Amino acid sequence: MRYIDVKNLTFYYDREPVLENISYHVDSGEFVTLTGENGAAKSTLIKTTLGILHPKQGSVLLSDKNTRGEKLRMAYLPQQVASFNAGFPSSVYEFVMSGRYPRRGWFKKMGTHDAEHVQTALEAVGMWSYRSKRIGELSGGQKQRVAIARMFASDPDLFILDEPTTGMDDISSSDFYQLMHHAAHTHGKAVLMVTHDPEEVKDFADRNIHLLKDENGKFACFDLHTEREQQVLQQEEISEEVSNV
């Protein structure tokens, strides 16, 4: 089911065109990466998709329903969450639990179901043993993992992630990609993730969208197949050939 459908989008900061005539889509059940050099306007594309910035031309459609016909829930992880300041007052547990509020309404009491979600989310990012620490005491990579846990606790249908593994070590990063792959393939979630390192995610992602700005300042947007997807396509071709024999 189509969750994001962007067509012919053009965006300007003041008079400077930053995105021109960009189209892309993201469906439920797929893990899509968005790549491009620094300044290629990846973050800008995500913000216009979310409606934080308004396009000059083109259309952005976000599904208002998920695959089960319920209201679509979206989670957005902005670039560099790790800069939460040292005085941030909540404990890790409280902060992740706060991700559950939009689900229950602000005045309802949290129950065991919420507590379970919080624990699972913190365990998924290896931060359960830090639950009583204050956010401000954590390292940059740990803050990032806690922000990810808060996002998991809210159990969204659509994840929009801007360089989520910044500050994380390689093992935590690939665990995270594995988790997003699982979320898409097992639970039918949709994932759109900006990354500067497509090599690192190529075993996990289904599809890559590459933003390119050429030397004339013209923009293009390519839908690239990842090696994974190519393997699947080749296998399908082979089995078709076999079945045609």
7 in Cβ contact with 59 (< 8 Å):
yes
Cβ-based neighbours of 206, under 8 Å, separated by 6 or more: 30, 31, 32, 184, 226, 228, 229
Give whichever of 43 and 166 is closer to Mg ion, judged by the CB atom: 43
216 contact, one of Mg ion, ligand ADP, none, CB 5-8 Å limit per kind? none
| 144 is a contact residue toward ligand ADP (CB under 6 A) | no
Of the candidates 206, 199, 159, 203, the residue with the CA atom closest to the CA atom of residue 185: 206
Give whichever of 41 and 191 is closer to ligand ADP, judged by the CB atom. 41
Cα separation, 157 vs 133, whole angstroms: 29
DSSP tag of 226? P
Name which of 118 and 191 has its Cβ closer to ligand ADP: 191
Going by DSSP bridges, is the β-strand pair 57-62/219-225 parallel, antiparallel, or unpaired? unpaired
From 35-43, 137-145, 184-192, 230-238, span contacting ligand ADP (CB under 6 A): 35-43
Query: How many chain residues are in contact with ligand ADP, going by CB under 6 A?
Result: 10
Confirm or reject binding of residue 213 to ligand ADP (CB under 6 A): no
The partner residues of 191 in beta bridges, in order of sequence, read 31, 159
**Of 10, 43, 90, 166, which lies in the binding site for Mg ion, with binding defined by CB under 5 A?**
43
The Cα–Cα gap between 151 and 49 comes to 18
Q: Tokens 């016909």 label which residue?
A: 69
Minimum distance, C-beta of residue 244 to ligand ADP, in the bound complex (Å):
44
Of 42, 100, 145, 181, which lies in the binding site for ligand ADP, with binding defined by CB under 6 A? 42
Q: Specify the residue, 40 or 135, whose C-beta has the smaller distance to ligand ADP.
A: 40
Is 2 or 56 the residue whose CB approaches ligand ADP more closely?
56
- Partner from Mg ion, ligand ADP, none binding residue 13, C-beta < 5-8 Å depending on class: ligand ADP
Question: Which residues are CB-contacts of 128 (< 8 A; sequence separation ≥ 6)?
Answer: 119, 122
CB of 163 to Mg ion, least distance (A): 6
Residues that bind Mg ion (CB under 5 A): 43
